[in-house]
Amino acid sequence: MRTATVVVLLLLCGAAFGQDTCAYPRQISVTGSGIAWLKPDMAVITFGADVTGYSPAEAVDRASNLMEGARRAAMRLGVAEEDIATSSYSMWTEYEYDSSTYEYTDVRIYHVTDYASLKLYDMEDVGEVLAALVQGGANCISGVSFSITDKTPAYDEARRIAVEDARNRAEQLAEATGVTLGEPTMISEYSYDYYDPYYGYGGMPATITADESGMAMSAPSISPSMMSVQTSVSITYGME
């Protein structure tokens, strides 16, 4: 049994019939990268109502009324009803805190948070919609994020750049080592979205101010940063 095993290993290594060493493929493996930048075409705003009440019904009704007012305000600006959806809802109890005694009382209060998100496809309207949400009833804006609805053209461009980069690297290695570059024998790809870390990961905090009357709202200035997609391509070439 040991003899048969040795013969098989020798045959696999090419050592049978007088060959002394294993034959390894002559190849060059490189990795190229490509990145394509583009402007986001969709914004997602997460807004909500954070309220308390002395009964569950009171807290739920207050939150519902505030959110309904915020939704209607957004829809008046052209946001489609199907682009607004609840993202989270919770209720819990806690004891009321007395700031004069710095102690919690025996009075139980009910805390309700109701959050929703909406989609916008016109980046020029983001600030105006934020102001309308708050004026309509929302007392929380937890964030604004940006994305790209169709990344396919960007990925196509990034992939083309990555393949060209890999080819250039392989040609340089072949020239430097005095060999002739052959045809590709293996190709693999890894793609991912990328956001400039200096501008936040596709999102930014939203600050909304009101004048002293508490009625008119000032729309914040929201300017989304450029976004990108990136792909890496690993290619193995034969050597001639």
For residue 147, which amino acid is it? Answer: S
State the residue for tokens 């340089």.
Answer: 172
Pick the CATH number of 42-147 from 3.30.70.2970, 3.10.20.440, 3.30.420.40, 3.40.50.1220: 3.30.70.2970
Domain 25-39+149-199+226-240 shares a fold with domain 42-147: no
CA distance 178 to 228: 37
Q: Does the pLDDT at position 12 exceed 80?
A: no
Domain ranges of the chain: 25-39+149-199+226-240, 42-147
Cβ pair 157, 36 in contact under 8 A = yes
Single out the residue of 32, 28, 68, 33 nearest to residue 184, CA to CA.
Answer: 28
Amino acid of residue 233: V
**Read out DSSP for 171-214?**
HHHHHHHT--EEEEEEEEEEEEEEE-GGG-SSEE----EE-TTS
pTM of the model: 0.71
| Percent residues over pLDDT 70 in the chain | 80
Write down the mean pLDDT value for the chain: 84
Condensed to tens digits (0 to 9), the pLDDT of residues 209-239 reads 444 444 566 888 888 888 989 999 999 999 9
* pLDDT single digits (tens) 157-214: 999 999 999 999 999 999 999 999 999 999 999 987 655 433 333 444 444 444 444 4
Q: pLDDT by residue (tens digit) across 50-85?
A: 999 999 999 999 999 999 999 999 999 999 999 999
Burial class (CB in 10 A: 0-12, 13-18, 19+), 120: buried
Which CATH class, in words, describes the domain spanning 25-39+149-199+226-240?
A: alpha beta
Helix runs in 49-125, H state only:
56-76
